[in-house]
Amino acid sequence: MDDQHDSVRAVYWEDDALHLLDQRRLPAQEHWLQPADCQAVAAAIRDMVVRGAPAIGIAAAYGAVIAARARYRAAPAAWRDPLRADLETLRQARPTAVNLAWALERVAARLEDLRGDPEPALLALARDIHRQDVAANRRMGELGAALIEAGSGVLTHCNTGSLATGGYGTALGVIRSAWRAAKLSAVFADETRPWLQGARLTAWELVRDAIPVKLVVDAAAAHLMQSAQVQWLIVGADRIAANGDVANKIGTCTAAVVARHYGVKVMVVAPASSVDLRTPCGADIPIEQRPPAEVLQLAGAPVAAAGADAWNPAFDITPASLIDAIVTERGVVLRPDREKMTALMS
């Protein structure tokens, strides 16, 4: 496949080491980190060096490889219990993205059959998780693009591209596929406060891959939709509940409410690993609360009045009733509900 519009990779394993593009420094600087141990990988996930639910899961799988190497070298006959503790350290790095727990559950299941050095088998598993994610993203790109009529404008929120996944992207993968198919008249991206993932990351990806993008402040999304310049709001998901409710970057629910009012369709694009049938509805999804400084400051510089506090949830819940389509590599669910989500995952 032509890779002109797919050149970015933010997570990879090479020379027996995990390489992570430090997304906190983009777009000003492309700086790569090589976390040396499990704690460093967990810190990279927690501190948003790596972010996006699929990318977090992939990084954690590679983190398990690093942990397995260290535990086996330290105690070849007693590595199993310490490694399980390392997996829990990785699991606790961020609570909302279900892909993190999903990847580590696959690692834990693989441990049950292992004897001797666990590193080769866990590395093969991590690479398989990574490859499967890229393949799933390309499949979702095809399925989502097929829903979009030629000449459409699209708006996306946060970053759901190669930086947030193993490659190609979820919602941004749909945009890539639709752009390649000459279906899009315009691509708009919300800035996405407080971390500005849209401004710093989505815009950087699209410019790098020769896809024109117009940036809008989050508060301009309603006026953009009212002006009929976009026909689809396309977003990702960190977790999808059994009834089709979606947890995604804070501001997604606001955009979806406005989209429904102005007749703009809402598409959620996420791998099947983001679907959590054990969570009945959105109200049961834990919402990560992040430090107030992320709102009160910008790149370390104060932007709020001294003495002000901030409430900083990282995610919100978009009800299934506001969603027109959920796209996974397993297929498309239109107007999602519990029955349809269960059928998708059966």
CATH number at residue 265: 3.40.50.10470
Say whether 185 sits in a helix, a strand or coil: strand
What is the tens place of the pLDDT at every residue in 127-163?
Answer: 999 999 999 999 999 999 999 999 999 999 999 999 9
Q: Are residues 156 and 295 in the same domain?
A: yes
Q: Can you spell out the DSSP letters for 79-129?
A: -HHHHHHHHHHHHTT-SS-HHHHHHHHHHHHHHTT--S--HHHHHHHHHHH
pLDDT at 341: 98
9, 8, 103, 10: which is closest to 65 by C-alpha?
103
What is the tens place of the pLDDT at every residue in 255-299?
Answer: 999 999 999 999 999 999 899 999 999 999 999 999 999 999 988
Q: Are residues 163 and 236 in the same domain?
A: yes
Query: Does residue 1 have a pLDDT over 60?
Result: no
Q: Are residues 144 and 184 in the same domain?
A: yes
Q: Work out the end-to-end distance of the chain between its first and last CA atoms, rounded to an integer number of angstroms.
A: 31
CA distance 307 to 146: 50
Q: Are residues 184 and 256 in the same domain?
A: yes
CATH number at residue 18: 1.20.120.420
For the annotated catalytic residues, the residue numbers are 238
4, 39, 13: which is closest to 129 by C-alpha?
13
Position 30 in a domain: yes
* Burial bucket for residue 196 (CB in 10 Å: 0-12, 13-18, 19+): buried
Q: Are residues 92 and 156 in the same domain?
A: no
Position 192 in a domain: yes
What is the tens place of the pLDDT at every residue in 10-66?
Answer: 999 999 999 999 999 999 999 999 999 999 999 999 999 999 889 999 999 999 999
Position 61 in a domain: yes
Q: Are residues 95 and 229 in the same domain?
A: no
CA distance 22 to 12: 13
Position 52 in a domain: yes
Domain that holds residue 310: 137-345
Q: Are residues 185 and 253 in the same domain?
A: yes
pLDDT band at 8 (very low <50, low <70, confident <90, very high): confident
